[in-house]
Structure 1
Amino acid sequence: MITYNPKSWLGLIFHLTKSDTLTILWKELIFIFIFTLGIAFFEIHFFADAVVLEKLFAVYSILGFVLSLLLVFRTNTAYDRWWEGRRKWGELVNDSRNLAVKLTALELPAEDDAYFARHIGNFALCIKEHLRNGTKFELLNLTEEEIAFLQKLDHIPSGIVELMYKRLNDLKKAGILSEEDVLRLDRNLNGFLDCVGACERIKNTPIPYSYSMFFKKFIFTYVVTLPFAFVVNFGYYSSIIATFIFYVLVSIEILAEEIEDPFGNDDNDLPTDEMAQRIQGIVGTILDKE
């Protein structure tokens, strides 16, 4: 995720990144410009007296209004997914901090505090990688026995939570923790599983295919046929207008596609790397008894 100053207007206007839509769409923009310029030339020289073309402007005004409604829905849907992902990661940070505070208040042996600090941090790193291309064990702080246990499972984040539950159960059997203590800790551990479940739902449930396909076809058809309605009033300048409209409409679609899956490495995705490191640092500081 790019950190920026939203008040720096000029800096933002002239700043280009690899995810900037102008960088992505420049070939398509050139094609649309040349294509619409050819339509304008053909219409001016061969259909200059066509009355029906003059009436198309009103039709495209109505279609533009319909398209604007679709854009609002598309943008809101994508941003809702991005914001829900951010909210769930915020809950993960809170649950991790709260769990660490509760554990340190119980005054467990230093060995147990270190165990939970290690696995709370492991869970944050694990879910970050799990939502991308799968968990990499070399990034986690695990013993050989723990790796062997997790390799048998299909869902690594749940396995890490299971390891913490097993440790709590051992402490309960040893009389170090009471039933009430375990129940208080259980709430935060359940929050871990709820977080990964919600994030998986966001990642694995894209916008319906039919809607996405229709929206792309609608934009393309609208822009490609736009010169037929605009040449009468704007002449060759209609190619510039059509190119700009294409840039705006397709840019919104590209940005929506990028933020509707907010757990990757794109510039507009959530800073899950930084948040996972923050969780490790917070938990380590709270549970460090040295």
Structure 2
Amino acid sequence: MPDRPHHHRRPTYPLAHAARHKPRRWPLVLRFAKGAIHTLIVIPVLLHSLFTVIVVYLDRHVTGNLGLPASIVPSLSIVVGLMLVFRNQTSYDRFWTGRNCLTTIGTSVRNLARVFLVSARGKEPGEKLTDAEKADTEKVIRVLVAILYAVKHNLRAEYNIPPASGIAEENGIMTAKAEYFSLLPDGLKGYEDQGLGLPLQLTVLVESYIRRGFERKWFHGPQASQMTVQVNGLVDAYGRMETIRTTPIPVAHLIHQKQVLALFNCVLPFATVDDFGWWAVPIVAIVAFTLYGIEGIGVQLEDPFGYDKNDIKMDGIVEDTRQEVMVLLEEWRLAADGHSEDALGGMFI
């Protein structure tokens, strides 16, 4: 019996990519990059600060009567606060829903992979699978993992199955998509130019395998029905993620929010110039920094499927699930080839 090939394991653990935390070199209060929203708000903060400088200068050295009653600030701040609370709650709900949907898809892939691998065995006890049956099962497991990649890329508007040149080395490093392409069945033709998303196309291959497994008597009727429910749940979760991706916050709300924020921060210098003089400049800058920062957080969370630091860690989550499923596939392959004693804990004996 041939020895099991020796592989160099890279250090890993469950959820290693999705839950990785680097040690913080600086406290968060001192961080102005890598996750911060300062670049989104620096221009409005500077403009409002400059406007305050002009107001204070005119009040002190030209007109002398630009001040407004300070009581105007509380009435405006209530409106601003309500709008910002609504915006951030809506944006975080989109973020949280997207994360839960991705978990639903990952769970469906795990469940289906587990059932497929455990159920794929010879018709009689001790009988080995045929080469065609083994190849069919390996293909569908790879398709399951490919669904995760297809969902990720479609939500990022990275459509089409690229040509072979897309997996070439770039600067000596294989592109991130190379692993994804290797999971797709040979000769797979995409129909995205006709409006068919690749995730849905791949679920058809999974459903076809369930039918073949039922005909091979690998699954009984209720079991096959339950697996179809898993596929339906996967498609439903992807549909909800598509809804988040394709349904932005209504433009009327965005316009009014921007106008209310600008109005409030333009009125604030007039309400503070009499009491604070030149101190009104840093006061307005701090208020503008706070309010526009809250709005900037909502902008970051509104579409959580991209590459920003504050987006869902889709790359890490997909990689963790891929690694789990591929380890299961490797152990199943050993058991199917008659090397059961080499498989981890005899999972597929």
RMSD, matched Cα: 2.5
The answer to whether the Cα contact below 8 Å between 1:21 and 1:254 also exists between their aligned partners in 2 is yes
Q: Find the residue that maps to 2:307 and give its secondary structure.
A: coil
1:31-70 correspondence to structure 2 within 5 Å? 31-49=47-65, 53-55=67-69, 57-70=70-83
The answer to whether the Cα contact below 8 Å between 2:95 and 2:302 also exists between their aligned partners in 1 is yes
1:90-101 correspondence to structure 2 within 5 Å? 90-101=103-114
Shift of 1:177: 3.5
* Alignment deviations for residues 1-31 of structure 1 (CA, whole Å, 9 cap, x no partner): 996589x796111122255222343344333
Q: Which moved more, 1:192-201 or 1:273-282?
A: 273-282
User: Distance between the aligned counterparts of 1:151 and 1:105, measured in 2?
Assistant: 37
The code of the aligned residue for 1:223 comes to N
Aligned residue in 1 for 2:212: 170
Shift of 1:54: 4.4
Residues 173, 107 of structure 1: alpha-carbon distance in 2 compared, 3 angstrom cutoff? closer
Residue 183 in structure 1 maps to residue 207 in structure 2: no
Which structure shows the higher helix fraction?
1
* 2:98 equivalent among 85, 88, 91: 85
Q: Which moved more, 1:279-288 or 1:183-192?
A: 279-288
Count, aligned residues: 286
User: Distance between the aligned counterparts of 1:266 and 1:233, measured in 2?
Assistant: 42
TM-score in terms of structure 1 length: 0.89
Q: Which moved more, 1:117-126 or 1:20-29?
A: 20-29
User: Distance between the aligned counterparts of 2:252 and 2:190, measured in 1?
Assistant: 43
Residues 152, 174 of structure 1: alpha-carbon distance in 2 compared, 3 angstrom cutoff? farther
Shift of 1:136: 4.6
TM-score in terms of structure 2 length: 0.75
The code of the aligned residue for 1:73 comes to F
Residue 143 in structure 1 maps to residue 201 in structure 2: no
The code of the aligned residue for 1:123 comes to I
User: Distance between the aligned counterparts of 2:299 and 2:325, measured in 1?
Assistant: 34
Q: Which moved more, 1:129-138 or 1:199-208?
A: 129-138
* 1:261 equivalent among 290, 303, 309: 303
The code of the aligned residue for 1:245 comes to V
Residue 103 in structure 1 maps to residue 116 in structure 2: yes
The answer to whether the Cα contact below 8 Å between 1:120 and 1:280 also exists between their aligned partners in 2 is no
Q: Which moved more, 1:106-115 or 1:147-156?
A: 147-156
Aligned residue in 1 for 2:249: 207
User: Distance between the aligned counterparts of 1:3 and 1:220, measured in 2?
Assistant: 39
Residues 167, 211 of structure 1: alpha-carbon distance in 2 compared, 3 angstrom cutoff? same
Residues 150, 210 of structure 1: alpha-carbon distance in 2 compared, 3 angstrom cutoff? closer
The answer to whether the Cα contact below 8 Å between 1:37 and 1:236 also exists between their aligned partners in 2 is yes
User: Distance between the aligned counterparts of 1:230 and 1:149, measured in 2?
Assistant: 61
User: Distance between the aligned counterparts of 1:42 and 1:3, measured in 2?
Assistant: 54
User: Distance between the aligned counterparts of 1:207 and 1:149, measured in 2?
Assistant: 30
* Alignment deviations for residues 150-181 of structure 1 (CA, whole Å, 9 cap, x no partner): 77662111000001112222333344433233
Shift of 1:199: 0.2
User: Distance between the aligned counterparts of 2:89 and 2:144, measured in 1?
Assistant: 33
* 1:128 equivalent among 124, 129, 152: 152
Aligned residue in 2 for 1:22: 38
User: Distance between the aligned counterparts of 2:239 and 2:293, measured in 1?
Assistant: 31
Residue 74 in structure 1 maps to residue 87 in structure 2: yes
